[in-house]
């Protein structure tokens, strides 16, 4: 498993909303020993082509650092591009007692 966690990225937790309703973020932290998998797709519609970049951040509490729980609406910067976490899926161990890893959907 450890040999799959080859990436690092910047993570900014959502802090609050400003008076205009825009999300503000906490100071960025560097996540080590994570995996980021991107699916790059081009979608054609009536307005032309649009890039539909989506991906998944894999974070393992017992291998990745620092220790966090990924949050929805947090910002992840990987390879110079910022993504927003849309949904976080905890994946449990076989006995269901502990979280083995988190899968965070990036948009």
pLDDT tens per residue, range 53-96: 689 999 999 999 999 999 999 999 999 999 999 999 999 999 99
In angstroms, the CA 95 to CA 54 distance is 31
In angstroms, the CA 82 to CA 75 distance is 7
pLDDT tens per residue, range 6-39: 999 999 999 988 888 888 999 999 999 999 999 8
């Amino acid at each position: 498993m450890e040999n799959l966690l080859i990436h690092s990225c910047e993570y900014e937790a959502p802090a609050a909303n400003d008076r205009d309703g825009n999300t503000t973020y906490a100071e960025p932290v560097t996540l080590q020993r994570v995996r980021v998998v991107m699916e790059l797709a081009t979608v054609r519609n009536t307005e032309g082509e649009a890039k539909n970049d989506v991906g998944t951040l894999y974070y393992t509490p017992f291998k990745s650092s620092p220790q966090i729980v990924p949050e929805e609406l947090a910002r992840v910067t990987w390879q110079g591009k910022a993504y927003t976490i849309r949904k976080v899926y905890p994946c449990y161990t076989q006995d269901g007692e502990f979280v083995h890893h988190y899968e965070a959907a990036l948009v």
